[in-house]
Amino acid sequence: MTKSTMLSAALLTIGAEFARTDTSNSYVGIWVTADNRIRHELLPNGRYVEARGERERAYEGRYEVTGTHIEYWDDTGFTADGDFVEPDVLHHAGMVLYRK
């Protein structure tokens, strides 16, 4: 294998990894319930942090947005989903969260 082939393979691998982790979308940011008890921070790298009450890092995991639908995979194995019903409104697990 030539150096050029190895370099090309390495660059393709890096590009594929970036494609899997780049979730640049208009929903990145902080989402909160009206009482501010539940807070989701959707990070641009496809990770999220959920705070509940005084627990700032109650849940963490990854997420993917397809259209207006969001899927969550908690690091402990729990899964959930939701839908952005308006640009600044997320319905998730019986809750309504608003863009902060």
pLDDT for position 25 = 83
Residues 6+ apart with CB under 8 A from 91: 82, 83, 84, 85, 97
Ordered structural domains, the chain, with CATH: 3-99 (2.40.128.290)
pLDDT for position 1 = 62
Which value, to the nearest 10 degrees, does the dihedral of the CA atoms of residues 7, 12, 18, 20 take? -150
- Alpha-carbon span 57 to 69, nearest angstrom: 23
CA angle 10, 14, 17 (to 5 degrees): 140
7 pLDDT more than 70: no
For 13-68, what is each residue's pLDDT tens digit?
A: 444 444 444 445 899 999 999 999 999 999 999 999 999 999 999 999 999 999 99
Kindly state the tokens that stand for 15.
């590009």
Tell me if the pTM is above 0.85. no
pLDDT for position 99 = 98
